[in-house]
Amino acid sequence: MRRFAWPLVAALTAAAPPPQERVIAPDGREMVTINGVARRVRIDPGAPAMPLITQDFADAAGMRPGMFGFAMDFGPKVTVTGRTAVAHVAFGSDKPARQRIGFTAKPFAAGFAGVFGPGSLPDPVIRFHLRDAIAGERTTAFPMVDQGDLFGGWAERFAVIMVEGQPMRVRFDPHHPNSVANAGAAVRLARAYGGTLSGTTSPTEIAFGVERPIRTLTLKTPFTVGPLTIGTLGVRTVDQGNTDTIADADQQADPNEVVVTGKGKHDIKNDRLAIGADLLARCSSIVFDKPAKQIRLSCR
């Protein structure tokens, strides 16, 4: 009997089913029940792992705030604060499970009672279906990480790319029209790929109705995020750093001007790049595979 033990184990292992996968429709709309109260929310690949719902939904669900609050910064002097509580959460016919929920006075996304990121769902694999796959698509797998600090598990789930030999976090955001880098990420991208800023600033909504000033960064050498090639993108010029060191295509350079920047003030862990609908229109799916710690992007 012993000689057959290992082949039998191998056969059973090979026949094991793949991890359960939840498929999310392009608009991300789903009904969720919190403490028995149902509302329509959005499942969003760019949203935090801790679900964020409106104060109205929290009140209807009888949620009482606990000792943990949170704050989200959107540039200088722009902060959204909220409270949290533990509640029973269920999607569809799922069995309710206890989960910490954040709630705020303003909705994260207009028209929805809340948003759930892939890190907040119980399924091991979350597939965001953006459109039907077409011939010639290419799939790239990225390492998947969280924010990395004490409360990093509450934050978004990021893909990681390398810029100047250092990691940069990338968030996939199909519900916003433009791809945008914060100032710190833009400085690194401009330095690595020969970037210049152009155009006047224009406001772009980030979340919670908060708008930030954006300019256009044009790169002499486009860079890639898996199957996507990026030559231009928006820049949040004063968020998580500033873009003073990036050449301005709309101004003639003064040879006598010297730009001085403080050393040790730029923490690359805060650099963020958000890939929006302008680039994700070329993609059919974004898959968050938690057991593999991967994000897989399929695009043409």
What pLDDT does 298 receive? 98
Q: Using an 8 Å Cβ cutoff, are 240 and 272 in contact?
A: yes
- Tell me the pairing of strands 114-116 and 294-299: unpaired
Looking at residue 18, its pLDDT comes to 62
Residue 196 has which token pair? 């210049």
Q: Characterize the bridge pairing of strands 283-289 and 125-129.
A: antiparallel
* Residues whose CB falls within 8 Å of the CB of residue 139, separated by 6 or more in sequence, listed in order: 227, 296, 297, 298
- The pair of structure tokens assigned to 237 is 């010029």
Rounded distance, CA 250 to CA 255, Å?
16
State the pLDDT at residue 149.
Answer: 77
Which pLDDT score, from 0 to 100, does residue 190 have? 94
Q: Are 115 and 108 in contact (CB under 8 A)?
A: yes
The predicted pLDDT at position 265 comes to: 67
Q: What backbone torsions phi and psi does residue 213 show, to the nearest 5 degrees?
A: -70, 135
- Could you give the 3-state DSSP secondary structure of residue 61? coil
What is the Cα 59 distance to its own chain's centre? 27
Structural domains for the chain:
22-123 (2.40.70.10), 129-299 (2.40.70.10)
pLDDT recorded at residue 154: 87
Q: Give, for all 300 residues of the chain, the pLDDT tens digit.
A: 334 343 434 444 445 556 689 999 999 999 999 999 999 999 999 999 999 999 999 999 999 998 889 988 887 778 999 999 999 999 988 899 999 999 999 999 999 999 999 999 999 999 999 999 999 999 999 999 998 877 778 889 999 999 999 999 999 999 999 999 999 999 999 999 999 999 889 999 999 999 999 999 999 999 999 999 999 999 998 766 776 777 787 654 333 222 323 344 678 888 999 999 999 999 999 999 999 999 999 999
> Do the strands 37-43 and 52-54 form a parallel or antiparallel pair, or are they unpaired?
unpaired
Residue keyed to tokens 């968050």: 288
> What's residue 249's pLDDT?
72
pTM for the full predicted model? 0.87
